A and B are shown apart, each in its own frame.
Chain A
Amino acid sequence: MIRVEGLTKRFGQKVAVDHLSFTIEPGYVTGFLGPNGAGKSTTMRMIVGLDRPSAGRATVDGKPFAAAQAPLREVGALLDAKAANPHRSGQAHLRQLAATHGIDQRRIDQVVAMTGLDSVIGRRVKTYSLGMNQRLGIAAALLGDPANVILDEPVNGLDPEGVAWVRHLAKALAAEGRTVFISSHLMAEMSLTADRLIVVGRGRLIADSTVADLVAASSGVATRLRSPQAGEVAAALASPDVTVTAEGPQTILIRGLAIEAIGHAAAQHGWVIYELTPVTASLEEAYMKLTDTAVEYRSAAPVPQGAVR
């Protein structure tokens, strides 16, 4: 279990993490979402004690990470793909980490096999692709068979097969009762991987919820109706509690009325219905909506064609 209480990090005038509080429960994959620069990596770095909080505290299973008797068994962390000396072999990198806790070669071989690095483990890390670096980082994180797994952007640089592998790995680790905390700026991936989500923007907590709740809360449940009599339907259903918006000449979006009630009304009035579907926003839309005001770096409006010569 990872608990963060009032965690704050200031870099000079800039507040990177602003009174963040949340708890990551064991047994779930918890996604950590936010735009670039939202403070995700800084938060993770404070949890494992790389950065010192300006205020607040972070604990792992009830105590600060630095106080752990066996840090590698408590937390397996991938904080950056480039956390191995490029002039050393992957094997030597894992060996030196294992040596700190007296972990034997058998366990090293296990994590190497688990991450599919068998054929390249003797090579120097500088010859690795970004994907291999990620796998080495994950192998290092799993070395101590940790109860808590923290992965910062683990799918960066992985091919689709690797992305699916990380997803299955994360779910399998959580199913064993581990606490799994994964940061990403890719909503689509998180919606497939995570059970719960912590969303941050500009260092502040925006949402702490399940994926389903987040999508529902953000979109509001709506129903799409397509009918040649769309105008008539809109007029008949309109009330202070119900909002109807036009999506097209024959398509309307109805909010505030259960889909069953719309069906009954249609039968009652004898409307011809082509389509009646529940609409939920994708996690991506929900996320965009949530972080809209919290994006730190926004691209300027596209340059009109022909403006640049």
Chain B
Amino acid sequence: MTALTAAPVGQQYRSTLGHELTLGGIIKSEWIKARSLRSTWWCGALMVALSVGFAALLVPAVIGSFDATFDLPLTDDGYAISMANSGLYMVGQVIAVVFGALTATSEYSSGSIRSTLAAAPRRGPVLIAKAIVVALVMAVVSTIALIGSTAVAAAAITANGYSLAFGADAVKMAVGVVFFLVVTGWVGLGLGFALRSSAGAIASGLGLYLILPNVLFFGASREWVANIIQLLPTEAGQLASSLASTIDSADPLLGGWTGAMICLAVWAAAALTAGYLVFKKRDA
């Protein structure tokens, strides 16, 4: 027989560390994860560079071609933001889908989901923490991009002799585009958890944002198809972030800015719920 040199049963080891798992800790952990990957910085840098670059190329050309006699809302409240948004909205949604999706799928492709769940075994808090960090990154990055491209647009507008106006509608537009990109990040995250494959999640996210509206457009003469188009996140995002939102009857279904924001929130909730259900039910 071997000598079983063991501490008597019952004298079990107790960890000397006094720390406990908290949601705050998981959020901090997710923040370290996001920060420590180059892809996060690339996504952020791309979003800022492309949207500012887009504004720098396009806005002066568009405004330069305007004729003051032509009735254009150049001096409308937040017009500079509206111009800036057109690039940010387009570039931002692609990057937000990719960033959100990768936040979930990179855990599966790298195998790090195992250590993540070994530290925080309950799925709900992990998903919440990831959603908070995705929102934080998207909000900060899109705000920087918005300020940069608005500055470029404003410079072009004033250079052409028009005055600027920033009022309540300007704020709504700014909040709208930032929220649209946060929601888009969440849609990517939800799809990432639901599909677990980077290619699958990104492809279906971009399909929803870029392809589906164009496909449905062919059937837009039918009312129900037109209604579906109105409810897509891209349309709601457009309404929430563009000058059209200042006219509260612009959209028969969503009404205006508030309706668009609610519609976006529903999309986020649906995507995150789908991701959560798969995350909880399927083996990691």
Interface set of A (CB-CB < 8 Å, partner B): 1, 25-28, 45, 48-52, 61, 65-66, 68-75, 77, 79-80, 82-89, 92-93, 95-97, 99-103, 107, 137, 140, 144-147, 174-179, 195, 210-213
The reply to whether A146 and B15 form a contact with Cβ atoms under 8 Å apart is yes
Flag whether B9 is at the interface (Cβ < 8 A).
Answer: yes
The reply to whether A178 and B13 form a contact with Cβ atoms under 8 Å apart is yes
CB-CB nearest in chain B for A48 = B118
User: Which residues of chain A are within 8 angstroms of B255 by Cβ–Cβ distance?
Assistant: none
CB-CB nearest in chain A for B31 = A99
The reply to whether B121 and A48 form a contact with Cβ atoms under 8 Å apart is yes
Chain B interface mostly: loop
**Smallest Cβ distance from A134 to chain B, in angstroms?**
13
Instruction: Write the B221-232 contact mask toward A (1 if CB under 8 angstroms, else 0).
Output: 000000000000
The reply to whether A82 and B110 form a contact with Cβ atoms under 8 Å apart is yes
Instruction: Write the B1-45 contact mask toward A (1 if CB under 8 angstroms, else 0).
Output: 110111111011111110111100110111011001111000000
Task: Take A27-B6, A147-B14, A175-B5 as given contacts and tell me if A99 and B32 are in contact as well, using a CB distance cutoff of 8 Å.
Answer: yes
The reply to whether B19 and A71 form a contact with Cβ atoms under 8 Å apart is no
Q: How far is the CA of A103 from the CA of B192 in the complex (A)?
A: 29
Flag whether B284 is at the interface (Cβ < 8 A).
Answer: yes
Q: How far is the CA of A28 from the CA of B8 in the complex (A)?
A: 10
**Smallest Cβ distance from B256 to chain A, in angstroms?**
42
What class of interface size applies to chain B in its complex with A? 35 or more
Task: Take A26-B12, A82-B110 as given contacts and tell me if A45 and B2 are in contact as well, using a CB distance cutoff of 8 Å.
Answer: no
The reply to whether B12 and A1 form a contact with Cβ atoms under 8 Å apart is yes
Q: Can you pick out 12 interface pairs between chain A and chain B where the beta carbons lie within 8 Å of each other? A: A28-B6, A50-B118, A69-B21, A82-B110, A87-B39, A92-B32, A96-B36, A101-B22, A107-B17, A147-B13, A177-B7, A179-B13
Which of B8, B15, B22, B111 has the most chain A CB atoms inside 10 A of its CB?
B15
- The tally of CB-CB contacts under 8 A between chains A and B is 170
User: Which residues of chain A are within 8 angstroms of B33 by Cβ–Cβ distance?
Assistant: 85, 88, 92, 96
The reply to whether B6 and A85 form a contact with Cβ atoms under 8 Å apart is no
The reply to whether B29 and A99 form a contact with Cβ atoms under 8 Å apart is yes
Q: Mark out the residues of chain B between 101 and 121 whose CB falls within 8 Å of any chain A CB in the assembled complex.
A: 106-107, 110-112, 114-115, 117-121
Instruction: Write the B114-146 contact mask toward A (1 if CB under 8 angstroms, else 0).
Output: 110111111000000000000000000000000
**Smallest Cβ distance from A96 to chain B, in angstroms?**
4
CB-CB nearest in chain A for B10 = A26
Flag whether B67 is at the interface (Cβ < 8 A).
Answer: no
Q: Which of B30, B36, B119 is in CB contact (< 8 Å) with A71?
A: B119
Flag whether B71 is at the interface (Cβ < 8 A).
Answer: no
The reply to whether A147 and B15 form a contact with Cβ atoms under 8 Å apart is yes
User: Which residues of chain B are within 8 angstroms of A68 by Cβ–Cβ distance?
Assistant: 21, 121
The reply to whether B32 and A86 form a contact with Cβ atoms under 8 Å apart is no
**Smallest Cβ distance from B36 to chain A, in angstroms?**
4
CB-CB nearest in chain A for B114 = A83
CB-CB nearest in chain A for B115 = A83
**Smallest Cβ distance from A16 to chain B, in angstroms?**
11
Which of A79, A146, A179 has the most chain B CB atoms inside 10 A of its CB?
A79
The reply to whether A27 and B21 form a contact with Cβ atoms under 8 Å apart is no
Q: Which of A65, A92, A97, A145 is in CB contact (< 8 Å) with B17?
A: A145
**Smallest Cβ distance from B110 to chain A, in angstroms?**
4
User: Which residues of chain B are within 8 angstroms of A93 by Cβ–Cβ distance?
Assistant: 112, 115
User: Which residues of chain B are within 8 angstroms of A83 by Cβ–Cβ distance?
Assistant: 111-112, 114-115, 118
Q: How far is the CA of A101 from the CA of B11 in the complex (A)?
A: 25
Top 10 closest A-B pairs, CB basis?
A27-B6, A92-B36, A73-B15, A177-B13, A177-B7, A99-B29, A66-B121, A96-B32, A27-B7, A51-B283
The reply to whether A95 and B21 form a contact with Cβ atoms under 8 Å apart is no
User: Which residues of chain B are within 8 angstroms of A147 by Cβ–Cβ distance?
Assistant: 12-15
User: Which residues of chain A are within 8 angstroms of B11 by Cβ–Cβ distance?
Assistant: 26-27, 177
The reply to whether B1 and A70 form a contact with Cβ atoms under 8 Å apart is no
The reply to whether B25 and A100 form a contact with Cβ atoms under 8 Å apart is yes
Task: Take A26-B12, A87-B37, A145-B15 as given contacts and tell me if A71 and B110 are in contact as well, using a CB distance cutoff of 8 Å.
Answer: no
User: Which residues of chain B are within 8 angstroms of A73 by Cβ–Cβ distance?
Assistant: 15, 17, 19
Q: How far is the CA of A290 from the CA of B166 in the complex (A)?
A: 80
User: Which residues of chain A are within 8 angstroms of B106 by Cβ–Cβ distance?
Assistant: 85
**Other contacts beyond A26-B6, A92-B32, A137-B115: 20, CB < 8 A:** A1-B12, A27-B11, A51-B284, A61-B12, A73-B17, A75-B118, A79-B114, A80-B114, A82-B110, A83-B111, A87-B110, A89-B36, A100-B25, A100-B119, A102-B19, A145-B15, A210-B1, A212-B1, A212-B2, A213-B1
The reply to whether A84 and B110 form a contact with Cβ atoms under 8 Å apart is yes
Task: Take A100-B26, A101-B25, A212-B1 as given contacts and tell me if A177 and B115 are in contact as well, using a CB distance cutoff of 8 Å.
Answer: no
**Smallest Cβ distance from A145 to chain B, in angstroms?**
4
User: Which residues of chain B are within 8 angstroms of A99 by Cβ–Cβ distance?
Assistant: 25, 28-29, 32
**Smallest Cβ distance from A42 to chain B, in angstroms?**
9
Q: How far is the CA of A75 from the CA of B121 in the complex (A)?
A: 11
Q: How far is the CA of A1 from the CA of B20 in the complex (A)?
A: 20
Q: Which of B6, B12, B37, B118 is in CB contact (< 8 Å) with A77?
A: B118
Task: Take A45-B283, A72-B21, A210-B4 as given contacts and tell me if A66 and B122 are in contact as well, using a CB distance cutoff of 8 Å.
Answer: yes
CB-CB nearest in chain A for B123 = A66
**Smallest Cβ distance from A117 to chain B, in angstroms?**
15
Q: How far is the CA of A53 from the CA of B4 in the complex (A)?
A: 32
Task: Take A71-B120, A87-B39, A92-B36 as given contacts and tell me if A97 and B13 are in contact as well, using a CB distance cutoff of 8 Å.
Answer: no
Q: Which of A102, A144, A176, A178 is in CB contact (< 8 Å) with B22?
A: A102
